[in-house]
């Protein structure tokens, strides 16, 4: 049951982070290139749409994180529960910023007319964007904390005891090194397969690039493990 709650929590927080990051990195930046009247209309449409989706994700993510931390009490040691409580605190802080800061600015956005003074509009959106930056950082922190890897968490996910893992790996770093070695072998094989039959070096390079992208799309979990700077740095240290 705890594994199901953990997976649900990671899924919900991941969806939350994905939406927040997408709006920060792509959506609002693209809207900012429009004329002021077009920006007003676009931001109002986005505010209404996100207003239907994001409150559900925010509350569900925080609630599932709280439930997960409660289920860890007395079962997996102090560190996993501490990390989960820290993730819950990040989500609660994000929700507080949303309610106290962003929501009033959302209402102000919906009240604007397309002919609003551009300087006043930029000031309004600037305040919203600064608060959104903090929300995104808190969401990312919550996701990292929720995904924090421990031997106990690995053992629980594999339905074995921690000593069973230590029979095969000296510590978590040894396990990560083995995992990375195995996954990089799979990755190299995928690139080699993509380049197979290429007529020349340029064609082989193009196919390998396509294979690289395809691997990331088809196996996002493996891609994240391979190219997570933190995991890689610790594994090879």
Q: Do 176 and 141 share a domain, yes or no?
A: no
In the chain, the percentage of residues whose pLDDT exceeds 90 is: 36
For residue 125, the model assigns a pLDDT of: 95
Q: How high is the pLDDT of residue 163?
A: 86
Residue after which a domain boundary falls, among 97, 124, 158: 158
Whole-angstrom CA distances from 111 to 53, 88, 118, 127 are: 20, 33, 15, 16
pLDDT band at 73 (very low <50, low <70, confident <90, very high): low
Same domain for 187 and 127: no
Q: Are residues 174 and 147 in the same domain?
A: no
The confidence band for 111, taking pLDDT boundaries of 50, 70 and 90, is: very high
Asked if residue 211 is part of any domain, the answer here is: yes
Which pLDDT value is given to residue 157? 67
- State whether 41 and 75 are in the same domain: yes
For residue 234, what pLDDT band results from cuts at 50, 70 and 90?
Answer: very low
| Residue at which a domain ends, from 134, 158, 182 | 158
Whether residue 41 sits in one domain with residue 104: yes
Task: Dump pLDDT digits (tens) for 75-84.
Answer: 545 566 677 7
* Residue 110 is assigned to a structural domain of this protein: yes
Spatial contact of 42 and 34, defined as CB atoms under 8 Å apart: yes
Which of left, alpha, beta for 161 (phi over 0: left; psi -120 to 50: alpha)?
A: beta
Single residue among 105, 135, 158 that ends a domain in this structure: 158
Q: What are the angstrom distances between the C-alpha of 21 and each of 44, 47, 57, 115, 132?
A: 19, 16, 14, 29, 10
The reply to whether 140 and 27 lie within a common domain is yes
Q: How does residue 149 score in pLDDT terms, banded at 50, 70 and 90?
A: low
Enclosing domain of residue 189: 170-236
Asked whether residue 164 is assigned to any structural domain, the reply reads no
**pTM of the predicted structure, to 2 decimals:** 0.62
| Size (the chain), residues | 237
pLDDT digits (tens, 9 = 90+) for 4-13: 777 787 788 8
Instruction: Share the mean pLDDT of the chain.
Output: 83
- Summarize pLDDT for 113-140 with one digit per residue, the tens: 999 999 999 999 999 999 999 999 999 8
Give the pLDDT score at 235.
47
Number of domains forming the structure of the chain: 2
């Amino acid at each position: 049951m705890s594994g199901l709650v953990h997976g649900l929590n990671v899924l919900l927080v991941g969806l939350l982070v994905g939406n927040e990051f997408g709006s920060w990195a792509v959506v609002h930046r693209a809207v900012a290139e429009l004329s002021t009247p077009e920006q007003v209309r676009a931001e109002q449409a986005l505010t209404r749409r996100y207003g239907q989706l994001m409150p559900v994700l925010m509350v569900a993510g925080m609630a599932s994180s709280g439930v997960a931390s409660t289920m860890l009490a007395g079962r997996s040691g102090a560190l996993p529960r501490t990390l989960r409580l820290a993730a819950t605190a990040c989500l609660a802080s994000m929700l507080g910023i949303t309610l106290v800061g962003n929501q009033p600015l959302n209402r102000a956005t919906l009240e604007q007319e397309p002919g609003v003074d551009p300087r006043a509009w930029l000031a309004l959106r600037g305040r919203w964007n600064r608060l959104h930056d903090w929300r995104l950082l808190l969401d990312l922190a919550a996701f990292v904390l929720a995904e924090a890897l421990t031997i106990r968490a690995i053992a629980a996910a594999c339905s074995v005891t921690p000593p069973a893992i230590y029979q095969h790996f000296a510590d978590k770093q040894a396990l990560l090194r083995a995992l990375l070695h195995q996954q990089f072998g799979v990755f190299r094989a995928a690139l080699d397969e993509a380049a197979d039959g290429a007529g020349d070096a340029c064609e082989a390079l193009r196919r390998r690039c396509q294979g690289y992208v395809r691997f990331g799309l088809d196996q996002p979990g493996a891609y994240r493990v391979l190219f997570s700077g933190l995991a890689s740095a610790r594994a090879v240290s």
